[in-house]
């Protein structure tokens, strides 16, 4: 797993994590506009992509899919 960053809606980094479901949980605490990013690439935008708290697993799967689509292994 790659280390991703959780940003609050202002864009401030709140955490660096390796567990994508944990990133979803943290991001959901900050609400709409918060993001999960890898090297400034937005992998999930809370509100626009859905609500991470509805399914941390679905959010994690989406993050993995987007990393794969970007060719990031």
What's the mean per-residue pLDDT of the chain? 95
pLDDT band at residue 21, thresholds of 50, 70 and 90?
Answer: very high
Cα angle 64-65-71, degrees, rounded to a multiple of 5? 90
Helix (H) / strand (E) element for 35: namely strand 35-38
User: Which residue is associated with the tokens 């660096």?
Assistant: 16
State the Cα–Cα distance between residues 32 and 17, nearest whole angstrom: 20
Residue 1 has pLDDT above 90, yes or no: no
Q: What is the pTM of this model?
A: 0.93
Domain boundaries, the chain: 4-69
What's the pLDDT at 73?
A: 78
State the Cα–Cα distance between residues 56 and 26, nearest whole angstrom: 10
Provide the 3-class DSSP secondary structure of residue 71.
Answer: coil
């Amino acid at each position: 797993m790659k280390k991703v960053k959780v940003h609050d809606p202002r864009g401030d980094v709140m955490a660096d994590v390796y567990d994508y479901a944990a990133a979803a949980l943290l991001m959901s605490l900050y609400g709409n506009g918060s993001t999960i990013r890898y090297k400034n690439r937005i992998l999930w935008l809370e509100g626009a992509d859905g609500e991470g708290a509805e399914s941390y697993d679905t959010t994690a799967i989406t993050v993995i899919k987007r990393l794969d689509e970007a060719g990031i292994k």
